Chains A and B, each alone.
Chain A
Amino acid sequence: MSAVAPFTPDEMMTVAAARLLWDGCVCFVGIGVPSAAANLARQSHAPGIVLIYESGTIGTRPAVLPLSIGDGELADTATAVVSLPEIFAYWLQGGRIDVGFLGAAQIDRFGNLNSTVIGPYARPQTRLPGAGGAPEIATHARQTFVVLKHTPRAFVAVLPFVSTAGFLAGSGARARSAAPGAGPQVVITDLGLLRPAPDSEELTLVARYENTSVAQARAATGWPLRVADTVEVLPPPAPEELRVLRDLHERTRRAHARAVVLPAGP
């Protein structure tokens, strides 16, 4: 096996996100890339990570990725299954989550997220699914990771709707609100990583991949992107990371295509 196997931008993004999670971390996981990255971490360098999905499944160890936030696989492999009021009130609002791991449709320069509408709320051009658990995950988790593809449509100067608060208007605005968590400490994209600047809290490109460039990131951002003095270059996916991730996706594809057997009716 060669050191650098061919990989897709999605795989690079997922691997980069997984590397940020640590063993023993208590992670409140969103569906999609966050779920893939969190399970990649669990099956590689962070076997002791505690995964919590908002369906109330605590300490779950799915063998295949759930399609929905509440697949039976999550309950079957959980340490405990609790109700929704409990998961949000006691576990999330109770301050027991290290990392809230979210996706979004759109993000602005201060890490605020939109997953509600494109266009005016009352008559939107595109009605998106909505906020779900994200607003309170982003409020209460000690820190938030956000993962999304880096495009001008996703990285916008002005959000049509704020579904989930990041640093609000920046420069300490979040700290002056009642939000206990530290907010979006890293944004992982298919082009690199962004972190909030210490003063303004404006998202700043701090890392790229071997096969992506600062110029690409600038072009894919809908505002003049702030770039760190030194932009770290992250290594490509290791063969083992790719193998675990692809196995996970392959098992998932097979499981989701399987015909369901239902009880015969009366």
Chain B
Amino acid sequence: MSVAPVPLAQAIATHVADGACIALEGFTHAIPFAAGHEIIRQRRRDLHLVRMTPDLVYDQMIGMGCARMLTFSWGGNPGVGSAHRLRDAVENGWPRPLVLSEHSHAGLAAAYVAGASRLPFGVLRGYLGTDLPQVNDAVRSVTCPWTGEALAAVRAVNPDVTILHAPCADREGNVLLRGITGAHKEAALAARKLIVTVERVVAHLDAHLNSVVLPHWVVAAIAVVPGGAHPSYVQGCYDRDNAFYQRWDAISREREGFLRWMERYVLGTRDHGELLRALAADGVVRLAGGT
């Protein structure tokens, strides 16, 4: 059974429910921004968000009140500074308090691997001498049955839905991941359902034998969203908009400026195409073949 593309709004409406545990993965690369924006437009609430590096997309979702809980391992604007909306939620409970389940990268990566493997926990030589196990009940200790060594055990992460962005899918719905793939595959297979937004649908993936391909039968829905990772990037398609990441610091610093931006570009647009055209009209990005 192949997976035919559906509009992104339909994929989100069908598969992402209030209160769900969802992971929008993408380790700096191929972050599914368009999907995050659509979740904001549909005003989902009480989500448990999982993501190794909650940068701008979760800053936006947290600031718009979508989240009750965050599982993560690094939360900031990479190379720029704070994720101001995440900070405001943790420091001041605005717009609502946020429960944290905080890991190291190695720990959360192991938790995704365990989730994908349908094991109850992942194991690593990690968190040694740190205070993280004291504040996160999902980090405990397990004893090696052969050596007696105490190792870190991290509870498996199994999101209800994982959402990825990818360069392409073929007409059957097989998805190719390329470039930095972070824990994208593990998050995808740890989830009960996988939604993928893609730049385009191609006749053939032309994938090298050892490529990272997610076969169509693990994909619940595909939506074609060109530019769907902006301001993140897609290897070989378009670059990371580092200027936008730098600009976000000022946009998001105060609640009012943040809400104005979200109103204009996310709530005030119907879909990602309209959002990109609004950004282009304001000179933030350029569209191929356009002005």
Contact = CB atoms under 8 A, between A and B. Distances in A.
Interface of A: 31-32, 54-57, 66-72, 74-76, 81, 83-85, 88-89, 92-93, 112, 116, 121, 123-136, 139-140, 161-165, 168, 174, 177-180, 255-266
Interface in B79-137: 79-80, 82-83, 86-87, 90-91, 102, 104-107, 109-110, 112-113, 124-132, 135
A70 B127 contact: no
A131 B100 CA distance: 14
Nearest to B179: A75
B78 A162 contact: no
Contacts of A93: 106, 124-126
Interface in B125-162: 125-132, 135, 149-150
Given A178-B150, A262-B288, A263-B227, 10 more contacts: A55-B182, A67-B246, A127-B87, A127-B91, A130-B72, A131-B130, A136-B106, A163-B131, A265-B226, A265-B274
B78 A135 contact: no
A116 B112 CA distance: 22
A81 B233 CA distance: 16
Contact of B183 (A57, A66, A84, A134): A84
A34 to B, nearest CB: 12
B128 A85 contact: no
B287 interface: yes
Given A72-B240, A133-B105, A264 B226 contact: yes
Given A68-B78, A83-B183, A165-B128, A263 B106 contact: no
B181 A56 contact: yes
B193 interface: no
B242 A256 contact: yes
A262 B149 contact: no
Contacts of A136: 104-107, 124-126
Most buried by A among B181, B184, B199, B274: B181
8 contacts: A55-B180, A68-B245, A72-B29, A135-B126, A162-B131, A163-B131, A260-B238, A265-B227
Contacts of B53: 132
Contacts of B38: none
A32 B199 CA distance: 31
Contact of B130 (A85, A126, A162, A174): A162
A100 to B, nearest CB: 12
Contacts of A179: 128-129
Q: Which 9 A-B pairs have the closest CB atoms?
A: A70-B28, A165-B129, A265-B273, A129-B76, A68-B78, A132-B74, A67-B79, A88-B106, A256-B242
A257 B243 contact: yes
Nearest to B186: A85
Contacts, number: 241
A30 B202 CA distance: 37
Which secondary structure characterizes the binding site on chain A?
A: loop
Interface residues of B, number: 80
B277 A260 contact: no
Contact of B180 (A74, A125, A129, A260): A74
Contacts of B75: 127, 129-130
A57 B287 CA distance: 29
Contacts of B180: 55-57, 70, 72, 74-75, 81
A264 B230 CA distance: 12
A259 B243 contact: yes
Contacts of A135: 104, 106-107, 126-128, 130, 132
B91 A125 contact: yes
A31 B79 contact: yes
B226 A92 contact: no
B105 A54 contact: yes
A102 to B, nearest CB: 13
Contact of A69 (B78, B82, B241): B78
B82 A129 contact: yes
Nearest to A125: B91
Contacts of B83: 129
Contacts of A259: 243, 285-286
Contacts of A255: 242
A261 B288 contact: yes
B88 to A, nearest CB: 9
A139 B183 CA distance: 21
A88 B109 contact: yes
Contacts of A266: 224, 226, 273
B48 interface: no
Contacts of A85: 109-110, 112-113, 183, 186
Contact of B79 (A66, A174, A178): A66
A68 B112 CA distance: 22
B29 A55 contact: yes
A265 B182 contact: no
Contacts of B78: 31, 67-70
Contact of A84 (B27, B246, B285): B27
A185 to B, nearest CB: 17
Contact of A83 (B55, B186, B241, B290): B186
